[in-house]
């Protein structure tokens, strides 16, 4: 899903640039018509560029977060077992921060414990240099297994209503969870690695 969002964001940016260029061309071509009101015209142009850029930046930086919040609020959550990952490409967001896309081979367990194979393309922090094996929670809609987004653990843990679902998964599957969290982008790592890093930070 993240790659689809990236392509949509790129298309959105292209449209913004084309509108900006078209506006500049219109200002040049019709200069005689607006020159007598140049201050309001220039202000309107600057506002147009600012609004379009702001909308693009908001979409690029928040589209996945909005989709995750919507899925969680609708109960569209499932457990996924990450088996391995393959590098796809590097990317850059509206704040010019670099990130990396990984293709994850996964098995998704729906709320009835039925298993489905899935390929999840997720956007990670550049600190993610390899993909560990383990379990995470993902957004899930039946029939759209490949459109999942990984849900940070803190979101699931902060919603008491999901405790029953988590307990059901833990009784049936006994998952070994990965730590999914945001640190300048999504990070997936074993809890053992997280604990070692925390202990090292405390001793420094």
Spell out the residues 6+ positions from residue 28 whose beta carbon is closer than 8 angstroms to its own. Answer: none
| Same-domain check for residues 107 and 26 | no
Give me the pLDDT at residue 148, please.
94
| Same-domain check for residues 114 and 16 | no
E strand or H helix at 186: strand 186-190
| Same-domain check for residues 81 and 182 | yes
Q: What are phi and psi of 103, to 5 degrees?
A: -95, 125
Of the residues 43, 71, 99, the one at which a domain ends: 71
Q: pLDDT of 96-143, one tens digit each?
A: 899 999 999 999 999 999 999 999 999 999 999 999 999 999 999 988
Give me the pLDDT at residue 202, please.
67
Q: 139: domain range?
A: 75-203
| Same-domain check for residues 172 and 88 | yes
From the number of C-beta atoms within 10 Å of its C-beta (0-12, 13-18, 19+), residue 146 rates as middle
The pTM (predicted TM-score) of the whole model is 0.87
Of the residues 37, 71, 105, the one at which a domain ends: 71
All residue ranges of the chain with pLDDT < 70 are 201-202, 204
Give me the pLDDT at residue 25, please.
93
In this structure, what DSSP letter does residue 180 have?
E
| Same-domain check for residues 80 and 63 | no
In this structure, what DSSP letter does residue 95 have?
T
Of the residues 27, 51, 71, the one at which a domain ends: 71
Q: Which of 162, 164, 106, 112 is nearest to 135 (CA)?
A: 106
Query: Between the CA of residue 114 and those of 37, 78, 105, what are the distances in Å?
Result: 66, 10, 17
């Amino acid at each position: 899903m993240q790659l689809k969002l990236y392509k949509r964001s790129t298309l959105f940016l292209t449209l913004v640039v084309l509108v900006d260029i078209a506006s500049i061309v219109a200002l040049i071509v019709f200069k005689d018509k607006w020159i007598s009101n140049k201050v309001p015209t220039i202000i309107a142009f600057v506002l147009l560029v600012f609004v379009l850029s702001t909308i693009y930046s908001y979409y690029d930086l928040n589209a996945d977060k909005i989709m995750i919040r919507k899925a969680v609020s609708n109960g569209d959550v499932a457990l996924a077992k990450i088996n391995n990952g393959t590098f796809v490409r590097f990317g850059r967001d509206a704040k010019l921060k670099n990130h990396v896309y990984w293709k994850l081979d996964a098995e998704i367990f729906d709320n009835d414990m039925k298993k489905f194979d899935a390929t999840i393309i997720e956007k990670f922090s550049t600190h993610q240099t390899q993909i560990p094996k383990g379990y995470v929670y993902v957004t899930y809609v039946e029939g759209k297994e490949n459109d999942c987004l990984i849900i940070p653990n803190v979101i699931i843990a902060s919603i008491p209503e999901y405790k029953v679902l988590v307990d059901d998964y833990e009784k049936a599957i006994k998952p070994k969870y990965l730590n999914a969290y945001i640190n300048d982008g999504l990070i997936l790592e074993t809890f053992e690695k997280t604990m070692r890093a925390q202990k090292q930070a405390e001793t420094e």
